[in-house]
Amino acid sequence: MADNYADMVVTTGVGDIRRHPWLKASIDAFADTVSGLGPVLDVGCGPGTVTAYLAERGLDVSGVDLSPRMIENARRLHPHCRFSVASATDLDLDEASLGGVLGWWSLFNLPRDVLPQVLALFAHALKPGGHFITATHVGDEDAVRTEAYGGVPVRWTTHKWRPEQLVDLIEQAGLQPVAELRLPPEEYSGPGLVVMAKRPS
């Protein structure tokens, strides 16, 4: 599936935030906010599109993804960036070591009972004043997918969240929400949500 997805990104621009003004504005605000605060980690980076965009913005950014094949594609498409294979649930992050963390359209793959632990890890890793940004699908259901990107058979579950539920989890992790953007379903294959939060100084 990773090869099909990467090819789709290249040929159609899917995942290119430059084509979505509000997503681009969100990432630009994040980049401006964390600039100069230290390293930035893109968790669930896929083929590295947003990682590369942040690198172009001058950030010290690296990407991680659970899929070795996704990382191979990210390295091929963006050889100037740093990528490694890693799970969001098994990151070795020192306390107050990062200026920023992204979970950009990736954390909805985490089981509901696992997401709070991952958010707490992000809060632990952020420097005081460092920021976290996430984008996700909005809803109540757990959607089981059996086919993806070119008809590849898959089995994974997308866990959708209501905005107030996700914001509450972010606050419980020790982060302070600073911005919330709700995206209309007609432009984003269903309603979406962007939340940015910071580790209090």
**Domain coordinates of the chain in residue numbers?**
2-198
Averaged pLDDT, 29-42: 98
In CATH terms, 2-198 corresponds, of 3.90.470.20, 3.40.50.150, 3.40.350.10, 3.30.465.10, to 3.40.50.150
Cβ atoms of 48 and 81 closer than 8 Å: yes
At residue 168, the pLDDT reads: 98
At residue 119, the pLDDT reads: 98
Range name among 47-56, 80-89, 145-154, 187-196 with the lowest pLDDT average: 145-154
List pLDDT tens digits, range 94-143.
Answer: 999 999 999 999 999 999 999 999 999 999 999 999 999 999 999 999 98
Q: Provide the 8-state DSSP code for 138.
A: B
At residue 151, the pLDDT reads: 67
Packing angle between helix 21-34 and helix 49-56, nearest 10 degrees?
A: 50
Averaged pLDDT, 174-187: 92
Cβ atoms of 5 and 46 closer than 8 Å: yes
Cα torsion 55, 111, 155, 185: sign: negative
Q: What percent of the chain has pLDDT over 70?
A: 91
| 173: CB partners within 8 A, 6+ apart | 116, 119, 120, 122, 123
Q: What pTM was estimated for this model as a whole?
A: 0.93
**pLDDT band (50, 70, 90) for residue 18:** confident
Asked if pLDDT for residue 156 goes beyond 90, the answer is: no
At residue 145, the pLDDT reads: 72
Q: What are phi and psi of 138, to 5 degrees?
A: -100, 140
End-to-end CA distance of the chain: 41
Averaged pLDDT, 43-63: 96
Instruction: Considering only residues 158 and 189, tell me which one the structure prediction assigns the higher pLDDT.
Output: 158
Chain mean pLDDT for the chain: 92
